């Protein structure tokens, strides 16, 4: 896997990096809610001031993947309430997505867009494309409304993800977007104490989180 190995396409020479603005992209997709095909356009999502959650997975009609998408579907409403557009992505075609959604009972609750990246351009850009298999690793990315990549997680094929943790990270990022001077400690959940980095906090994190 090498995100810089794209001599055939000069605009993909650099991978997306946390803390930097992503380049715009479009993908064809299957829309389970409408039952038809559509287009995912990152620029339009940004224009609507939406967060973007990209959920890459290896392939349709496999084994861990439907459990992940079902788990994500169970948290979809919470993510939407936080202002996120959720999009799953694999290197399958939009037609395969339609067939898989129609046949796999675990996907009955899926309402988010299922994007197709058969050429792997967007997958390479987010550095989840496995050149040996031609499939995507399990990558989860959060892009803020300004188009900046704020979170990146990549798992190997055999480890499924936890959508509740994705929601927690979304909640933290949404909070910090409104409170940029603060920072969220480990296991932070809405309502928990945050940290405000300063010279007074150096060596005193315990006291800040555990006041007498």
**Is 81 a domain residue?**
yes
Distances (CA, A) of 16 to 94, 105, 128, 191: 24, 34, 11, 32
What are the tens digits of pLDDT across the range 51-88? 999 999 999 999 999 999 999 999 999 999 999 999 99
Give 130's strand partners. Answer: 135
**d(Cα 30, Cα 116) in Å, to the nearest integer?**
8
Q: Are residues 184 and 162 in the same domain?
A: no
Percent of the chain at pLDDT > 70 equals 94
Q: Are residues 162 and 188 in the same domain?
A: no
Classify 7 as helix, strand or coil: coil
Pairing status of strand 84-90 against strand 113-116: parallel
CA-wise closest residue to 137 among 151, 157, 117:
157
Q: Are residues 116 and 24 in the same domain?
A: yes
Give exposure, 74-86, as e/b (b: 16+ Cβ within 10 Å): ebbeebbeeebbb
**Is 3 a domain residue?**
no
How many separate domains does the chain show?
Answer: 2
Range of the structural domain that residue 203 is part of: 180-212
Provide the annotated active-site residues: 65
Q: Check pLDDT > 50 for residue 108.
A: yes
What are the tens digits of pLDDT across the range 110-161? 999 999 999 999 999 999 999 999 999 999 999 999 999 999 999 999 999 9
Per-residue pLDDT, 179: 98
Q: Are residues 156 and 68 in the same domain?
A: yes
Q: Are residues 104 and 199 in the same domain?
A: no
Per-residue pLDDT, 13: 58
Q: Are residues 198 and 185 in the same domain?
A: yes
Give the relative orientation of helices 64-81 and 163-178 as an angle to the nearest 10 degrees: 30
Q: Check pLDDT > 60 for residue 2.
A: no
Q: Are residues 117 and 184 in the same domain?
A: no
Q: Are residues 149 and 60 in the same domain?
A: yes
Q: Are residues 71 and 160 in the same domain?
A: yes
End-to-end CA distance of the chain: 51
Token pair belonging to 92: 């399958």
What are the tens digits of pLDDT across the range 166-187? 999 999 999 999 999 999 999 9
CATH number at residue 51: 3.40.30.10
Per-residue pLDDT, 212: 78
Q: Are residues 171 and 185 in the same domain?
A: no
**d(Cα 153, Cα 126) in Å, to the nearest integer?**
10
């Amino acid at each position: 896997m090498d995100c810089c190995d794209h001599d055939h396409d000069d605009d993909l020479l650099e991978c997306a990096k946390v803390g930097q603005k992503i380049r715009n992209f479009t993908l064809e997709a299957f829309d389970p809610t409408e039952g038809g095909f559509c287009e995912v356009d990152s620029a339009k999502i940004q224009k609507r001031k939406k967060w973007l959650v990209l959920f890459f997975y290896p392939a349709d009609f496999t084994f861990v993947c439907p459990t992940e998408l079902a788990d994500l579907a169970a948290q979809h409403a919470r993510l939407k309430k936080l202002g996120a557009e959720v999009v799953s992505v694999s290197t399958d075609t939009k037609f395969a997505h339609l067939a898989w959604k129609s046949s796999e009972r675990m996907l009955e609750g899926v309402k988010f867009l299922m994007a197709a990246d058969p050429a792997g351009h967007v997958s390479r850009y987010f550095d989840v494309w496995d050149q040996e298999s031609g499939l995507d690793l399990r990558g989860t990315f959060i892009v803020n409304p300004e188009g900046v990549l704020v979170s990146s997680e990549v798992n190997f094929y055999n480890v499924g993800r936890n959508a509740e943790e994705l929601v927690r990270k979304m909640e933290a990022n949404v909070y910090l977007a409104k409170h940029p001077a603060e920072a969220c400690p480990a296991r932070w959940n809405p309502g928990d104490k945050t940290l405000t980095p300063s010279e007074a906090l150096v060596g005193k994190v315990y006291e800040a989180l555990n006041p007498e």
